Amino acid sequence: MSMGNAGSTAIPGAAARGIRLLIADDQALVRGAMSTLLGLETDLEVVAQVGTGNEVVAAAREHGADVALLDIDMPDGDGLAAAAALAASGLACRSLIVTTFGRPGYLSRALEAGASGFLVKDTPPEQLADAIRRIHSGLRVIDPTLAQESVLLGPNPLTEREKEVLRLAARDDDAHGIAAGLHLGKGTVRNYLSSAIAKTHARNRTEAAHTAERNGWL
């Protein structure tokens, strides 16, 4: 459940100095804690906070953010979509994914979306601050453990249609329900499910969906 408030919030007293940060997270407590910790750094200033992914580009433009810290799991546009929107916006604001979900598939999707970094939320504050400085300088920062897991796991093997089918399978939809939801024939859906099950080395569609979710492929 979202704990955030709609709309971007300018941070009172933010001076025109240092690296300007935007924090996007649907939990107000998380945004506040992150803002407080980063505000202790003399060269960093949090200039705006938002609670949904769709607010990110407008807030970055309005407040002149240099780096946007994006959670993945947000309503109305997740952090991956927000990173892609920022990359396509023409703004100079770079993005850093900071999330609880340290899944290898999310890392590859974030980099494909144009994010400059990916860290998990239990990263020590001083390392987070250093990552922001490095990203602002044009470098890329990735959680080392997650990077190794991503290399071992390999790229996402699923096609876009297979991902659509598995998302519905994860909701316990049967082949008939999936076919109706995607306007496909039941035989076509069964073929996609069979292919996805083989690619995820699963025993059935439910296990395939869970494996794909766990790896961040969906």
Checking if the pLDDT of 43 tops 80, the result is yes
| pLDDT tens figures, 59-88 | 999 999 999 999 998 988 899 999 999 999
> Which tokens sit at 81?
């979509």
Residue 36 neighbours by CB under 8 Å, 6+ apart: none
Q: Dihedral, CA atoms, 140, 146, 152, 156, nearest 10 degrees?
A: -80
> pLDDT > 90: what percent of the chain?
44
Report DSSP letters for 63-75, one per residue: HT-SEEEE-SS-S
- Contacts of residue 40, defined as CB under 8 A and 6 or more positions apart, other chains included, come to 125
More confidently predicted of 151 and 21: 21
Of 217, 38, 18, nearest in space to 125 by CA: 38
Q: How far apart are CA 164 and CA 183, in angstroms?
A: 12
Confidence at residue 146, expressed as pLDDT on a 0 to 100 scale? 77
If pLDDT is split at 50, 70 and 90, which confidence band does 17 have?
low
Q: Considering the domain delimited by 9-152, tell me its CATH architecture.
A: 3-Layer(aba) Sandwich (3.40)
Q: Is it the case that residue 202 has pLDDT exceeding 90?
A: no
Q: In the CATH hierarchy, which top-level class contains the domain 160-215?
A: mainly alpha
pLDDT tens for each residue of 156-190: 788 889 888 888 888 877 788 888 888 888 888 88
Q: Where are the domains of the chain?
A: 9-152, 160-215
The confidence score (pLDDT) of residue 154 equals: 67
Average pLDDT across the chain, whole number: 85
pLDDT of residue 51: 95
Amino acid at 183: H
Pairwise pLDDT comparison (8 vs 162), residue with the higher score = 162
* Cβ(211)–Cβ(158) below 8 Å: no
CA distance linking residue 27 with residue 10, whole number of Å:
16
